[in-house]
């Protein structure tokens, strides 16, 4: 098991019954995943190898895992959740490009295929219906300086949310 897979498995175990979804970066691709019941990263076609992955972001809806490979081949892990400082703003949403054109169920949960003419197709781990749009929901954290100026100091990913006639 790779160090990245170990970090995801530990995060999955701490999440309990909550579904864990995320995305990862490798030299040749960026892809979405969902963890199956055993904590294995799966795409819509099943498990995939994390050996080449150098960065992971995952969420169970309440916490976010961030894992970054270090130069020695190991990794650094941080788990973010709400804490008293800095102050979180109300959840923010940003729309993913494209419309849902296909949906399917997998052992790791539901998946939707988005299509946008400019970007092509991408599979995302969300329960949606054809025609829906998908938002990424996040929490932004702000700090206030001595002059009263607010600065967004971090953003924590919360999850994906379908938007449209079937899920508004």
CA neighbor of 68 nearest in space, from 31, 32, 26: 26
Q: Which residues pair with 58 in a beta bridge?
A: 22, 65
Confidence label for 72 from pLDDT (cuts 50, 70 and 90): confident
Read off the pLDDT of residues 135-164 as tens digits, 9 standing for 90 and up.
999 988 888 899 999 898 888 999 999 998
Written in H, E and C, the secondary structure of 108-145 is CEEEEEEEECCCEEEEECCCCCCCCEEEEEEEEEEEEC
Per-residue model confidence (pLDDT) at position 73: 80
This prediction's pTM:
0.86
Read off the pLDDT of residues 48-67 as tens digits, 9 standing for 90 and up.
999 999 999 999 999 999 99
CA distance 24 to 5: 11
Confidence label for 16 from pLDDT (cuts 50, 70 and 90): confident
Q: Is 103 helix (H, G, I), strand (E, B) or coil?
A: strand
Read off the pLDDT of residues 24-34 as tens digits, 9 standing for 90 and up.
999 999 999 99
Per-residue model confidence (pLDDT) at position 87: 61
CA distance 150 to 88: 12
DSSP H or E run through 8: helix 3-15
Peptide bond into 86 cis (omega under 30): yes
pLDDT, average across residues 114-133? 96
């Amino acid at each position: 098991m790779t160090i990245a897979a170990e970090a995801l498995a530990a995060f999955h175990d701490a999440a309990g019954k909550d579904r864990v979804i995320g995305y990862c970066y490798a030299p040749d691709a960026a892809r979405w995943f969902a963890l199956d019941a055993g904590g294995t990263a799966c795409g819509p076609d099943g498990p995939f190898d994390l050996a080449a992955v150098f960065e992971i972001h995952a969420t169970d809806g309440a916490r976010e895992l961030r894992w970054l490979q270090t130069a020695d081949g190991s990794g650094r892990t941080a788990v973010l959740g709400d804490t008293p400082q800095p102050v979180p703003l109300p959840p923010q949403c940003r729309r993913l490009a494209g419309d849902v054109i296909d949906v399917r169920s997998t052992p790791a949960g539901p998946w939707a295929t988005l299509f946008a003419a400019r970007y092509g197709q991408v599979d995302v781990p969300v329960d949606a219906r054809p025609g829906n749009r998908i938002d990424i929901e996040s929490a932004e954290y702000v700090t206030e300086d001595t002059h009263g100026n607010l600065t967004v100091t971090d953003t924590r990913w919360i999850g994906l949310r379908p938007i449209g006639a079937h899920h508004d």
